[in-house]
Amino acid sequence: MTHDLLVCEDLQVVYADGTAALRGVHLTLGAGIVGLVGANGAGKTTLLRVLAGILAPSAGRALIGGRSAIAHRVAVGVGSIPDAARLPAYLTVEGFLDGLRRAAGSPGETAVEAEIRHALDIDGLAQRPLPALSLGQRRRVELAAALIGDPDLLLLDEPTNGLDPLAMTALRSGLRAARRRDRLIIVSSHHLDELQRIADWIVLMHEGRIVASEAAAAMLARGPSLEEVFMTAAGGAGA
């Protein structure tokens, strides 16, 4: 992994009620699939929101390709699934994806987007109204939407939550199809076994800080499973 795509320097976020969600995050990442692991409240979602350029840090900075995350979002867009946002109820799958494509300035569906759409198995859903989709279909459409505009940074917060094994397999295929040499994909998930299968790099977070960041193979060599490594690292950091 080349470490030049994402650089976080002393990133801090303190919410208005005084909660410190990020307490000085230092992180450097390059292209590949990165698994972001941490307990609830570790700061994963806040970190992803800062990287998406929709939350300004209280201090420190996040640079994507040398630009601030906010400038990066405005200039080229970011591939992400907005947290807690639903899909617009008045659009069909095709209308939604086509609208995002036009918003991103894409002249039409690229070959890569078509390949991902096929991998995600949403070819037959084009005319379906968005509210009529099942949870698994919705997640796959959300991933296809996040990949529109061919973003170099893709941020996915708990994409596998509530999915059945079939939907998880389709999502995994989509993620693998989305992997490319100059794209950084950060996936936050509690499904550690799932992350173990797809991630090239693992970042462990605990109480607003990064407690470990290294290649997945190296991290897995430290214990029988990612879960064990995470428990040990979190325990060490909390002590």
Partner 1 sequence: MPERVPLHWHLARWRREAPGPRGLLWIAAVTLLLMLPVERFGADLSWATQARILVNLGVALAAIAIGRDAGRPDDAERWLLLQGQSPADWALARWVANLLPLALLAVLWAAIVFTVTALTQEQPMPWSGVLGLALHLALTAMLLTLILLTLGCLGARQTAEGMMLLLILTFLLPLVADRLPAVVADGARLVLPPLDAIATFRDAATDGAWRELLNAALRLATWSGVLLALALTAANRRVPARPSRVSVTSG
**Least distance (Å) from partner 1 to the CB of residue 142?**
9
Is 237 near partner 1 (CB under 8 A)? no
Q: How far is the CB of 51 from partner 1 (least distance, A)?
A: 11
Using CB under 8 A as the binding rule, the residues of this chain from 15 to 34 that contact partner 1 are: 15-16, 20-21, 23-24
Closest distance of CB 188 from partner 1, Å: 16
Q: Choose between 34 and 49: whose C-beta lies nearer to partner 1.
A: 49
| From candidates 148, 170, 204, 233, binder to partner 1 by CB under 8 A | 148
- DSSP 8-state assignment for residue 204: E
**Binding flag, residue 105, partner 1 (CB under 8 A):** yes
Work out whether 90 is an interface residue with partner 1 (CB under 8 A).
yes
The phi and psi torsions of 219 (rounded to 5 degrees) equal: -65, -40
Helix (H) or strand (E) holding 157: strand 153-157
- What is the rounded CA–CA span in Å between residue 196 and residue 34? 10
Cα–Cα–Cα angle for 29, 32, 34, nearest 5°?
65
CB 222 within 8 A of CB 22: no
Minimal distance, residue 84 CB to partner 1, in Å? 9
Dihedral sign computed on CA atoms, order 108, 5, 79, 233? positive
Answer for which of 1, 7, 39, 104 binds partner 1 (CB under 8 A) is: 104
